[in-house]
C-alpha cells in the first residue's frame, strides 16, 4: 500500500495527516499453548499505527487484502501514554506502548511486532527509522 493512501484516509477523517509517521505492526489477538508459538500458530492481526504530535491512531486492516477499513480507527491521546519505545530483536523490532498507571502484568502495556522492512510498502523502513529516533531504542536484556 502506498503511504499516500493512508495520509488521504487520515485527512478524510479529520485526523493529523502527514507522511513519515506511519508503520505496519502485528499484534497478537489470542494466545495459544506454548508450542503454538514455536510453530508460528498464534493468531495475529496486522494494523497501521500513525503517530502525530498529540495522538496516535490505530488503523485496522482487512487481513486478506490489507486494505484500510473505512471509518474504523481508534485515536489515543499521547497524554494517556506513559512511554513509547522500541526494542531491537534479531528479525524485527518490538514496539512497547505503556499507558499511564499500567502495572507490569497489566493489559495497558501493548506490545507490537514491527517488521524491519515491508515488501509492498518501501516507505515503512524510513518511517520506522524516524519513529525509533523520535521515541528511542532500548536494547533487550
pTM: 0.86
Report the alpha-carbon distance of residue 77 to residue 51 in Å, rounded: 10
The full length of the chain comes to 141
CB 93 within 8 A of CB 100: no
For residue 12, the model assigns a pLDDT of 95
Backbone Cα Rg of the chain: 15
Report the alpha-carbon distance of residue 57 to residue 111 in Å, rounded: 15
For each of the domains in the chain, give its residue range(s) and CATH number, in order of start: 3-138 (2.30.29.30)
Q: pLDDT for 25-77, tens place per residue?
A: 998 876 555 555 555 555 789 999 999 999 999 999 998 888 999 989 999 99
Amino acid at each position: 500500500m502506498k503511504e499516500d493512501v493512508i495520509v488521504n484516509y487520515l485527512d478524510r477523517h479529520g485526523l493529523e495527516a502527514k507522511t513519515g509517521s506511519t508503520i505496519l505492526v502485528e499484534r497478537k489477538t489470542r494466545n495459544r499453548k506454548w508450542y503454538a508459538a514455536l510453530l508460528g500458530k498464534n493468531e495475529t492481526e496486522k494494523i497501521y499505527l500513525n503517530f502525530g504530535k498529540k495522538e496516535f491512531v490505530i488503523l485496522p486492516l482487512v487481513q486478506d487484502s490489507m486494505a484500510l477499513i473505512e471509518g474504523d480507527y481508534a485515536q489515543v491521546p499521547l497524554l494517556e501514554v506513559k512511554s513509547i519505545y522500541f526494542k531491537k530483536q534479531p528479525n524485527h523490532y518490538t514496539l512497547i506502548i505503556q499507558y499511564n498507571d499500567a502495572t507490569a502484568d497489566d493489559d495497558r502495556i501493548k506490545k507490537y511486532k514491527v517488521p524491519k522492512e515491508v515488501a509492498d510498502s518501501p516507505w515503512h523502513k524510513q518511517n520506522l527509522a524516524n519513529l525509533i529516533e523520535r521515541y528511542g531504542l532500548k536494547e533487550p536484556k
